[in-house]
Amino acid sequence: MLQCDVSERPAGGSVVERRYVVAPHLMLEAHDDAHAVVVNTATGARAKVSIAAFRMLSRFDVPRTVSDVFGRSDEGRAAARVRALVEHGLLWDVEVERPAEKPRRRPAPFRFCNAPSYSASGARADVVVLGVPYDLGGPENGREGLLAIRQKSLDYTYMVDFDARQPAGWFDAGSGVRILEGVRIADADDIPWVHGEPQRAVFERVVETLDELLPVDGVPLVLAGDASVSHAVATCCAGRHPLSVVHFAAGGAAAEREGESVTVYDVARAMTHVAGVRSVVTAGLREASGYAPPPGVTEVTATRLRAGDPGDLVAHLPIAERVLLSIDMGVVDVSTPPSGKGMSLREVRDAIHTIGGRHRIVGVVIAGLDPSAPLGPVVAIVACHLALQALHVATLRRVA
């Protein structure tokens, strides 16, 4: 419990004033003339305070006593306000020892579709968005892809119906129906990581955070730097229920493992070793990998998908199986005119609907977007579209 007294009297009888300092990891997110929103980057928690309270916080930028800040004459009147800030964890008593706190989540500049933040959403969320800017599993610069997707997603305004008090969803011009109506989405910001940190530690943080945030039937939308992160998401989802993974990728992902780290080249093979993962289908390859995939992995090229029945994709999945959907954005051909080697947006979308029509999608990973690439902005648009379509299919049965 935090110490809230503004002074204490030791055995000698003299009063020793306590010193306070603004809590570590506290960041100003937004403000106007009346209020400020501050975020604890260690927990992701947000708090809305009056601008007067924020100015008071700012004066404790270094450890100070109440009288240092307000003077002896105003000390009594300020004490109650200081106690309130301490009780809310915004001010810390420097004399109280606390264990070192490592940030669990890092605030993102934008929220997916401007949906409520996880900590401020109040009600339980049906979909939890989490960013994992890890991109050391492949050669692409994907860590900034999360920002590009979230920023582009602001074109899809998240609104709640005033009377029904339920999310309004969006009208999908392609299908002529509303999607995600009544589905509550919350953005839980990003998982922090630093260069030199072992991949295992980053992935364990992903699993722990998803376990903490997701309700029993919640669907995660993970925006990842590269597709190796799908291994961590599969670990979390398969820990709840056995499942299969459909991994859309332009290149084979079942190469022999080298070292302990998971890469975009061997993520399919690595996921077959995750407890609860029954099978992995890598779909959309631009050409056959040239080697026999290991047990539990099936590879389906884009040419084969295009020439055959879309149901050919789900023929490799157990009946009524739960499915984790992983999409490496390199699988989509956004060139004009199309090169014909990759999958088109419509083909990936149709495949998602085919999978969702026969199986239950329990999680979605969107990875591998390099916004600095020549067609990066176009890929960001496609990523938003596929994310919304996948979430629509994943939540359709439950909402119905």
Q: Highest mean pLDDT range out of 170-184, 222-236, 279-293, 307-321? A: 222-236
Helices (H), 109-229: 145-153, 199-213
User: What tens digit of pLDDT does each residue of 274-298 get?
Assistant: 999 999 999 998 887 677 788 889 8
Is 112 within 8 Å of 383 (Cβ atoms)? no
Taking CB atoms within 8 Å and a gap of at least 24, the contacts of 37-42 are 38/90, 39/107, 40/89, 41/103, 41/105, 41/106, 41/107, 42/101, 42/102, 42/103, 42/104
Residue 130's alpha-carbon distances to 69, 207, 382, in angstroms, are: 40, 11, 19
Residue 1 has pLDDT above 50, yes or no: no
Of residues 187 and 44, more confidently modeled: 187
Distance from C-alpha of 309 to C-alpha of 320, rounded to nearest angstrom: 19
Of residues 346 and 257, more confidently modeled: 346
Q: Mean pLDDT check: name the lowest of 58-62, 68-72, 217-221.
A: 68-72
Q: Mean pLDDT check: name the lowest of 40-49, 145-154, 238-247.
A: 40-49
Residue 121 has pLDDT above 70, yes or no: no
Residue 74: the pLDDT is 63
Residue 13 has pLDDT above 50, yes or no: no
Domains and CATH numbers, the chain: 7-93 (3.90.930.60), 112-399 (3.40.800.10)
What mean pLDDT comes out for the span 117-143? 86
Q: Mean pLDDT check: name the lowest of 8-12, 177-181, 192-196, 232-236.
A: 8-12
What mean pLDDT comes out for the span 221-240? 97
What mean pLDDT comes out for the span 238-254? 92
At which residue do the structure tokens 């030791």 appear? 10
Q: Across the chain, what does the average pLDDT equal?
A: 86
Nearest Cα to Cα of residue 92 among 105, 101, 83: 83
Residue 328 has pLDDT above 90, yes or no: yes
User: What tens digit of pLDDT does each residue of 300-312 get?
Assistant: 888 888 877 666 6
Residue 100: the pLDDT is 58
Distance from C-alpha of 281 to C-alpha of 298, rounded to nearest angstrom: 5
**DSSP notation for 198-246:** -HHHHHHHHHHHHHHH--TT-EEEEEESSGGGHHHHHHHHHTTS-EEEE
Of residues 326 and 38, more confidently modeled: 326
Distance from C-alpha of 326 to C-alpha of 71, rounded to nearest angstrom: 59
Is 315 within 8 Å of 224 (Cβ atoms)? no
Distance from C-alpha of 174 to C-alpha of 171, rounded to nearest angstrom: 9
What mean pLDDT comes out for the span 16-32? 84
Report residue 388 as tokens: 């919304």
Residue 210: the pLDDT is 95
Strand, helix or coil for residue 82:
helix
Residue 335 has pLDDT above 50, yes or no: yes
Amino acid at position 170, single letter: W
Residue 336's alpha-carbon distances to 36, 375, 379, in angstroms, are: 46, 10, 13
Q: Mean pLDDT check: name the lowest of 67-76, 139-148, 168-177, 295-304.
A: 67-76
Residue 400: the pLDDT is 46
Q: Spell out where the chain has E strands.
A: 7-8, 16-17, 20-22, 26-31, 35-40, 46-50, 91-93, 127-132, 170-172, 177-179, 185-190, 219-224, 243-248, 277-285, 297-301, 322-328, 360-367
What mean pLDDT comes out for the span 28-41? 86
User: What tens digit of pLDDT does each residue of 183-218 get?
Assistant: 999 999 999 887 788 999 999 999 999 999 998 889
Residue 7 has pLDDT above 60, yes or no: no
Residue 155 has pLDDT above 50, yes or no: yes
Q: Which residues of 3-31 are buried (b: 16+ CB within 10 A; e: fewer)?
A: ebebeeeeeeeeeeebbbebbeebeeeee
